[in-house]
Structure 1
Amino acid sequence: MEELELISYMFWSFLGLFLLLFILSGIRVIKEWERAPILRLGRYVGLKGPGIIYIIPLIDRIPCKISLRIQTIPFSSEQTLTKDNVPVNVDAVMYVKVIDPEKAILNIENYYQASLWAAQTTLREVIGRIELQELLSHREMVGQELRKIIDEKTEEWGIKVISVEIKDVIIPQILQDAMSRQAQAERERQARITLAKAEWQAAELMVKAAQLYEKDKTALLLRWMNMIYEIGQQPGTNTLIFVPS
């Protein structure tokens, strides 16, 4: 009899412990920046979090956790032709934020991967509509156009595109050399123009000075004396001045 009571006691003890662990297994901790979608028998019933939440074991399930923080998505476009038929490789980065976790879990299987693919295809489309010089000199404007187009695509997924930045534009080495020579030629042209302008201005001032000296002999004499003084200031120079008696 005592043995039967002991077995019964152990059975109910193990059963109670099992039920306690079963109940405690439904406790989850969700971080401040996360939200947890709840599926009850496969049906979406809502979001929970942050903090300590409870789900019904074996009935409720959390398929994933949605982060509400801004996320960075690097992407690139390899060997894409610009409007003027120049092959370029463009590296960019996109900053996105989930603003509607319910859409992000129900309307798209993987919002991160989908946003990445949308960014890559949009980058190729935009590059094909602009010329190389515009891509190189107006990166910020190109990034703004990319952000606007991608944001329209991801809006139905509950994703907000904060910004898109062009990190690097890689062009063929032959074209880089040609652009370098062109830039060097442009710098030389600007230098020659600047020198010519300086000579023209100097000649114009000399003409005005000659006209002044022609009208005012005293000014010419003062200029002559100043030139003699400047020559005498040079080291190792002896100056002889003959003054008529």
Structure 2
Amino acid sequence: MNPQATRITVTNESERKSVGDFGVCSQILIILTYILVILTFPITIFYCIKIVLEYERAVIFRLGRLVSGEAKGPGLFFILPCIDTYQKVDLRVISYNVPPQETVLDDATEKWGVTVERVEVKDVILPSQMQRSMAAEAAASREAKAKIVAAQGEQSASIALKEAASILSESPAALQLRYLQTLITIA
């Protein structure tokens, strides 16, 4: 019962009809096993009843063929000794740390019978050419924003100068006062 050496074959609809169909010799062997289990009941109970945990299911094979019905579990289930074999299947989500590599998307894994539930990307490494082009684009964007801010500053300064010039042009005394104030700051 090595859980790492598990190999389960999935059958299609035409093969599924023959699942559980046994020949006459197989039927006789199964009946003899039932009789043997009943005759040696107290001893064989330990070999016939198996336990499957909450996160496991058991796939039962009778004489190498899949027994009809679903996988058994969780809980107790009955097998015939020497006739039935079972394989436990772990249903827990398995998480792997994969080394950095180019990965296969989950669409390509469906044909292998693998269900990818979630992928967490921890690090993305870009080619150096892509990094340079992204850095150049970011620098150009910053320069454009700086030019826009400078142009808006010049526009607001020119509006303020225009308003000051219009105020000073209305009264010659104000122009004289401004001239005197400039002379004081220079000296």
TM-score of the two chains, using structure 1 as the length reference: 0.41
Counterpart in the other structure of 1:61: 85
Q: What SS class does the counterpart of residue 195 from structure 1 fall into?
A: helix
Deviations 1:153-210, CA, capped at 9 Å, x for gaps: 63894x6654444433212345434533443343233223322223223323432454
Matched, 1:190 2:145: yes
Counterpart in the other structure of 2:155: 200
Structure 2 distance, partners of 1:42, 1:165, is 40
TM-fit CA distance, 1:48: 0.6
TM-fit CA distance, 1:56: 2.0
Counterpart in the other structure of 1:48: 72
- Superposition pairs for residues 194-233 of structure 1, below 5 Å? 194-211=149-166, 214=169
Matched, 1:25 2:58: no
- Superposition pairs for residues 93-104 of structure 1, below 5 Å? none
Query: Alignment RMSD, CA only?
Result: 4.2
Q: Which amino acid aligns with 2:81?
A: P
User: Could you say if the C-alpha distance between residues 21 and 29 of structure 1 is closer, same or farther in structure 2, counting changes exceeding 3 Å?
Assistant: same
The correspondence for 1:154, drawn from 105, 110, 132, is 110
User: Could you say if the C-alpha distance between residues 41 and 206 of structure 1 is closer, same or farther in structure 2, counting changes exceeding 3 Å?
Assistant: farther
Q: What SS class does the counterpart of residue 146 from structure 2 fall into?
A: helix
Q: Which amino acid aligns with 2:73?
A: G
TM-fit CA distance, 1:40: 1.2
User: Could you say if the C-alpha distance between residues 212 and 60 of structure 1 is closer, same or farther in structure 2, counting changes exceeding 3 Å?
Assistant: farther
User: Could you say if the C-alpha distance between residues 206 and 37 of structure 1 is closer, same or farther in structure 2, counting changes exceeding 3 Å?
Assistant: farther
Matched, 1:38 2:60: yes
Q: What SS class does the counterpart of residue 80 from structure 2 fall into?
A: coil
Question: Any conservation in 1 of the 2:56–2:88 contact (CA below 8 Å)?
Answer: no
- Structure holding more strand per residue: 1
User: Could you say if the C-alpha distance between residues 216 and 175 of structure 1 is closer, same or farther in structure 2, counting changes exceeding 3 Å?
Assistant: same
Structure 2 distance, partners of 1:62, 1:209, is 96
| Bigger shift: residues 181-190 or 49-58 | 181-190
Structure 2 distance, partners of 1:19, 1:201, is 101
Structure 1 distance, partners of 2:65, 2:168, is 101
TM-fit CA distance, 1:72: 3.8
Q: What is the number of equivalent residue pairs in this alignment?
A: 138
Q: What SS class does the counterpart of residue 35 from structure 1 fall into?
A: strand
TM-fit CA distance, 1:50: 0.5
- Structure 1: state its 5+ residue gaps: 1-17, 79-88, 92-119, 124-146, 229-238, 241-245
Matched, 1:167 2:117: no
Q: Which amino acid aligns with 1:198?
A: G
Structure 2 distance, partners of 1:216, 1:35, is 98
TM-fit CA distance, 1:27: 3.1
Q: What SS class does the counterpart of residue 54 from structure 2 fall into?
A: coil
Structure 2 distance, partners of 1:155, 1:215, is 87
Q: Which amino acid aligns with 1:202?
A: A
Rg (Cα) greater in structure:
2
TM-fit CA distance, 1:71: 4.1
